[in-house]
Amino acid sequence: MMAVASKPFQWWRSGDLDGFFGLFIDNLIQLILIVMLCAAILGMPGEMIFGRILPGVAVSLLVGNLFYAFQARKLSLASGRGDVTALPYGVNTVSLFAFIIFVMKPVLDTTHDIELAWQVGLAACLGSGLIELAGAFVAGFVKHVTPRAALLATLAGIAITFISMDFVFRIYADPLIGLIPLAIILVQYIGRLRLPFGLPAGLVAVVIGTALAWGLGRMNVSALASLAPMHLSLPHLYLGEMLGTTFSAYMLAFLPVIIPMGLFNLLGSLQNLESAEAAGDRYSVRSSLTMNGIGTLVAASFGSVFPTTIYIGHPGWKRMGAGAGYSVANGLVIGLLCFFGLVGWVSALIPVEAGAAILLWIGITIAAQAFEATPRQHAPAVIVGFLPALAAWGLLMLENTLRAAGSNIEAVGLQALSLQLPIAGMIALERGFIFTSMFMAAMTVCLVEKNFRGAAIWSVVAAFVSATGLMHGYAIANGAVINAYGMDTSWPFVLGYLGMALIFWVLPRRE
């Protein structure tokens, strides 16, 4: 770890440039997804995307990144350490897809009113923020009673699947562009070799990757000519649109989407706080998660329909030597891109592959931390915690493949798919996989420590959450897998977990 504990707090350190590029590329991908999905799925006009949503995203990211940067400064001054790293922050990817597909699109399909669909999206974003804000006052207790391995295993599974696998595929899809930047990142951050002139590896990797992409003709020159000219879009408050009749008329209807998204966001942020603490930076759970909720409320108030969250990746930024400056720079640059309508320009100039090696490194670091920061005997619990994330990633790959072939799970049919793989189990494990990963890993930790009563309690908790449908409950509708709440589809899991609790409780008493 690139520690500088002997130095006082500095707003900008050498590692902040690498940290900025990594977090910037990650956030840029979210912005590109917003533009693409809002236009392709919703047919949303450019004025709404670039004039309302992206400025709202910019305000929320600027507010959040500045808060977490000053929070890092406060921790540094209080602890006397100069190696404190700010929590990374950005748009929540899962909620991005969920709110477009399961909130705004149904409203648009029913009413054919894109203005109304956007207003319902604002209300949904508001609801998610309120859940995150309320959860900040109970999350400390959850963190206290949950084994570290259970919290870190979930992040490790997500890091391996949704981060590392995606970006390693991008690297090997075009090795002439991807492998040289990867070598530069690995040489400095795994080999601990200082680059000539003290150049940061992240900057060098992005510059070389971009130069290779343009030099080898991988970039679309004509795309630059088709981009809209730079224009200023200042953010506006949309409290009336967010809290008008739309709020009361649609909020209840979409609670089955809003509640799990808010809870997943809250739990994921809590796990990221545990990851930061394991890396050496212990932040207040309540204040960190309160800001997490406020950031989402700010997003909705200024026109964005997408919740924000504390990002995965703190240990990776810390090993790069990043401090608080990378967070400030990310908020400022993302803000400028959104306010001036430059998202398309940057995505046309810098290929994602140029920064893929940085994000692959982040994924590797998070996965490694789950083993390094937990007792050695808890390694089986970490492996158990990987499995639900692997199922979620596998289902995503399957759905994307079927969609590319012009089909979907409903069209092919579960019975036909089950001839090749146990699709029902994959889907059930994917629904609420963050909860499943944490509960199963916690049970495993208790069993390793011969705390059979604790394992039984965690099994009962899993049964209760399954009964709500937040775990394992699903249905197939409109070509997609959707949540099914209540015990109609999840009752076998409720009984199964209760059976596990009975075994954990009774068998040890026979000894």
Q: List the structure tokens of 390.
A: 């692997």
Amino acid at 264: F
- Using CB atoms within 10 A of its CB, is residue 240 exposed (0-12), middle (13-18) or buried (19+)? exposed
Q: Which residues lie closer than 8 Å to 62 by C-beta, 6 or more apart?
A: 331, 332, 334, 335
Distance of alpha carbon 168 from alpha carbon 215, whole angstroms: 22
pLDDT of residue 441: 95
Q: List the structure tokens of 90.
A: 């950005």
Q: How many residues does the structure list for the chain?
A: 511
Residue pair 63/328 in contact (Cβ under 8 Å)? The answer is no
Residue pair 35/343 in contact (Cβ under 8 Å)? The answer is yes
List per-residue pLDDT tens for the chain, 511 residues long: 444 445 688 999 988 988 898 888 888 888 888 888 898 889 899 889 999 999 999 999 999 999 999 999 999 999 989 899 999 999 988 788 888 888 888 888 888 899 989 998 998 899 899 999 999 999 889 888 999 899 888 888 888 888 888 889 989 999 999 999 999 989 988 888 888 877 888 889 889 999 999 999 888 777 666 666 777 888 899 888 777 655 556 777 777 778 878 888 888 899 899 999 999 999 999 999 999 999 999 999 999 999 999 988 898 889 888 999 999 999 999 999 999 988 878 878 888 888 888 888 888 888 888 898 899 999 999 999 999 999 999 998 998 899 889 999 989 989 999 988 899 999 999 998 989 999 999 999 999 999 999 999 999 999 999 999 889 999 998 788 888 888 888 999 999 999 999 999 998 876 5
Distance of alpha carbon 33 from alpha carbon 272, whole angstroms: 23
Chain Cα centroid distance, residue 412 = 30
Query: Which residue, 433, 408, 417, 501, is CA-closest to 463?
Result: 501
Distance of alpha carbon 34 from alpha carbon 54, whole angstroms: 8
For the chain, the 3-state helix, strand and coil shares in percent, each to the nearest 5, are 75, 5, 25
Distance of alpha carbon 135 from alpha carbon 290, whole angstroms: 8
Amino acid at 66: L
Distance of alpha carbon 252 from alpha carbon 341, whole angstroms: 34
Distance of alpha carbon 292 from alpha carbon 288, whole angstroms: 6
User: For the whole model, what pTM was predicted?
Assistant: 0.81
Amino acid at 434: I
pLDDT of residue 246: 57
Query: Which residue, 320, 340, 364, is CA-closest to 22?
Result: 320
pLDDT of residue 256: 74
> 433-448 vs 423-430: helix axis angle to the nearest 10?
90
Amino acid at 134: A
Say which DSSP state 376 is in: G
pLDDT of residue 363: 84
CA distances from 310 to 41, 270, 363 (A): 27, 9, 15
pLDDT of residue 360: 87
Domain extents for the chain?
14-374, 375-511
Read out DSSP for 179-226? HHHHHHHHHHHTS-PPPGGG--HHHHHHHHHHHHHHHTT-S-HHHHHT
Instruction: Tell me the chain's radius of gyration from C-alpha atoms.
Output: 23
Read out DSSP for 405-451? TT--HHHH-HHHHTTTS-HHHHHHHHTTHHHHHHHHHHHHHHHHTT-
Q: Torsions phi, psi of 407, nearest 5?
A: -135, -170
Q: Which residues on adjacent β-strands are paired with residue 395? A: none
pLDDT of residue 1: 42
